[in-house]
């Protein structure tokens, strides 16, 4: 990996894991600003095969994404009844309730970034959903505004 500024970036393999944290090799990236930098400049490689961090021609690195490239860190209610999600890149997006699914591991996932990427909910964000859940006809639904949206299971 090339250097960035005056500090050399180690050549360890960068991995974004299911737990919503960055790792360099097997060591977690504990510096918050560096982890946020990685997330903000994460993108799909041209051609769509895999991910990379691309800041400019001076800094780019291949990245392994273990599950989803983003995680939902919080649910934010909006006064008009909609819900927003805060992502690990500090962006805030309106939650598309139709996109919610529950994986085999019990983790909630939704689509973000204009429907182009998936985001896995951290446990705390899943807990934030509980007040909006209702059971209708033996199926769990998300109650948002006046709508009830069935939650699909993968």
Q: Identify the CATH assignment for 14-65 out of 3.40.50.720, 1.10.260.40, 3.90.850.10, 3.10.540.10.
A: 3.10.540.10
Q: Which strand (E) or helix (H) includes residue 102?
A: strand 101-102
| Confidence grade of residue 1 (pLDDT, cut at 50, 70, 90) | very low
What are the pLDDT digits (tens) for 15-34? Answer: 999 989 999 888 899 998 88
| Average pLDDT across the chain, whole number | 88
Contact status, residue 76 vs residue 92, Cβ threshold 8 Å? yes
What are the pLDDT digits (tens) for 95-112? Answer: 999 999 998 889 999 999
SS3 track for 30-71: CCHHHHHHHHHCEEECCCCCCEEEEEECCEEEEEEECCCCEE
Q: Write the DSSP symbol of residue 19.
A: T
* Alpha carbon distance 129, 109 (integer Å): 12
* Alpha carbon distance 59, 83 (integer Å): 35
pLDDT(7) > 80: no
What is this structure's pTM?
0.83
Contact status, residue 144 vs residue 83, Cβ threshold 8 Å? yes
* Alpha carbon distance 119, 47 (integer Å): 21
> Taking the domains of the chain in order of start, what are their residue ranges?
14-65, 70-153
């Amino acid at each position: 990996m090339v250097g960035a500024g005056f500090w050399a970036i180690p050549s360890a393999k960068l991995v974004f894991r299911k737990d919503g944290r960055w790792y360099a090799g097997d060591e977690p990236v504990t510096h918050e600003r560096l982890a946020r930098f990685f997330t903000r400049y994460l993108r799909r490689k041209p051609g769509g095969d895999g991910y990379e961090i691309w800041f400019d021609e001076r800094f780019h690195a291949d990245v392994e994404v273990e599950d989803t490239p983003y995680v939902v860190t919080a649910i934010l209610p909006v006064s008009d009844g909609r819900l927003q999600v805060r992502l690990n890149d500090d962006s805030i997006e309106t939650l598309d309730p139709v996109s919610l699914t529950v994986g085999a591991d019990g983790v909630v996932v939704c689509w973000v970034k204009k429907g182009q990427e998936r985001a896995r909910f951290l446990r705390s964000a899943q807990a934030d959903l509980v007040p909006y859940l209702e059971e209708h006809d033996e199926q769990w639904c998300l109650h948002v505004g006046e709508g009830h949206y069935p939650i699909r299971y993968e």
